[in-house]
Amino acid sequence: MTCNDAFGYDLTIDDPVAAQAWDRIVAAFLAHSAATPLHLTEALEREPDFAMAHLAKGFFMLLLGRAELAPAAREAHDAAMRIMEGNTATKRERGYETALELYLQGNLAAAADRLEQVMAAYPRDAFALKLVQSMRFVMGDSTGMRRSIEAVHDAYDVDHPAAAYVNGCYAFTLEETGDYLAAEARGRDAVLRAADDAWGVHAVAHVFDMTGRTREGVTWLTNQPEAWAHCNNFRYHVWWHLALFHLERGEYVDVLRLYDTEIRADHTDDYRDISNGASLLTRLELEGVDVGDRWNEMALICAERTDDGCVVFADLHYMLALSNGDAHGKACRLLQSMKRNAERGKTTMAEVSADAGVSAAEGLIRFSHGDYSSAYHALSAARPNMRRVGGSHAQRDVFERLTIDAALRAGMLVEAQVLLNDRIRARGAIDGYADRRLWSIGTFESALAASL
């Protein structure tokens, strides 16, 4: 027996109520809704032999990037396998299973490739599409994110129930690949068609960030807080974007207010929440703002994550918190753990650790010790591969800023100028950060002329 999902594809279950719960899982996942795990629980309680729900659980666990959840993800995979051995699972379900197995083995790139094979056979499957977006985002593969969507985009006509959310995803990939005009148009259209498309709202915020349109960014986000009020911890990230606009405008009181009341109000330990906080405090300190004892709250949390080794992007933000939060022993322990992972060399994240993570982490430690020349050299060595640590341009910019400021503080003005010019070219505008650095080294006019 089978039921159909909202996209018209078979689910190997015979309970339409469980199938409806599945549709709610997918809709919630697309909207970054806090209700996603509730719908997952509902589906599995209604139909314990629901292979796709078990597989979804496995993916969700791994995407959280926490070592202690790996056994639960394995359990979810194995439960799905047992169910699928006893029934005539669809090709789609088997595709998800092999993708999850590859992810469990640490081969994130192969897992995403496998899910794209599922998308090729089932192009209207927005759940596979969104999973691939999430996984390639973790790898910093913006080109792959865009290619993945463009391969199936024709399947998302206006009647497709997830069309608006897919447009929001498409907008983000356009932004990350530098097509800002198209990204803004797609993102605005997505939000018009689905008011809770937090990812679409966020994609347009990224456009404003990259193009230095801070006033429009503040207006865009403050005018529609309901668009992300329903979100899981992704809502902290949208508040982080609003804080970035204020930061670029020199409105530091507003940044600290958002930090205390939204971004780190809940002292959560998800790595994405830590990354928002650590990145913001770093940027504030680089602008000379006293952040008080705010580092210590995150350092205490990150001290428990030194042996995670799940996501290099997470490790680097833990490192920021540990090295700035008076936990230098733990920072060294994290560095050793990253080195061990790099030496293993068999997983996607081991490769990223070896290619960029370890060197960047050393640079962060040296910067916190005030050893700016050495920090510059370590961060510069990581720089050609920093895209691979994952996240967005806006998120990785904290490492770019640290590299530039390390050069400036070490008196390496030529090197700083080269980095600033690269950064301006990559972003498409001179933002507040670049403006202040260029004035400090007296080359604003020549940089402006070169960027026009």
Tokens describing residue 328: 């230098």
- By C-alpha distance, which of 333, 300, 350, 308 is closest to 66? 308
CB of 135 to Fe ion, least distance (A): 17
Nearer to Fe ion, 102 or 207 (CB): 207
- DSSP H helices, 122-161, are 126-138, 142-150
Task: Give the Å distances, CA to CA, from 339 to 125, 306, 307, 310.
Answer: 39, 12, 11, 13
Tokens describing residue 412: 């390496």
Binding site for Fe ion (CB under 5 A): 392
Nearer to Fe ion, 170 or 367 (CB): 170
Nearer to Fe ion, 107 or 392 (CB): 392
CB of 434 to Fe ion, least distance (A): 19
Beta carbons of 99 and 118 less than 8 angstroms apart: yes
| Residue that the structure tokens 């001179």 belong to | 430
Nearer to Fe ion, 234 or 318 (CB): 234
CA–CA distance, 437 with 287 (Å, rounded to integer): 10
- By C-alpha distance, which of 437, 70, 46 is closest to 57? 70
CA–CA distance, 387 with 274 (Å, rounded to integer): 19
CA–CA distance, 70 with 103 (Å, rounded to integer): 10
Nearer to Fe ion, 108 or 203 (CB): 203
Nearer to Fe ion, 383 or 393 (CB): 393
Cα–Cα–Cα angle for 3, 14, 31, rounded to 5 degrees: 50
CA–CA distance, 419 with 407 (Å, rounded to integer): 9
CB of 299 to Fe ion, least distance (A): 24
CB of 286 to Fe ion, least distance (A): 19
CB of 264 to Fe ion, least distance (A): 16
Q: Is 3 in a helix, a strand, or coil?
A: strand
Cα–Cα–Cα angle for 60, 281, 395, rounded to 5 degrees: 45
Nearer to Fe ion, 25 or 314 (CB): 314
Q: Residue 156: which H helix or E strand, with range?
A: none
CB of 371 to Fe ion, least distance (A): 31
Nearer to Fe ion, 9 or 239 (CB): 239
CB of 209 to Fe ion, least distance (A): 8
Nearer to Fe ion, 324 or 392 (CB): 392
CB of 357 to Fe ion, least distance (A): 21
CA–CA distance, 324 with 361 (Å, rounded to integer): 13
Kindly tell me the sign of the dihedral angle through the C-alpha atoms of 280, 283, 287, 293.
Answer: positive
Which residue is nearest to Fe ion, using beta carbons? 392
CB of 206 to Fe ion, least distance (A): 6
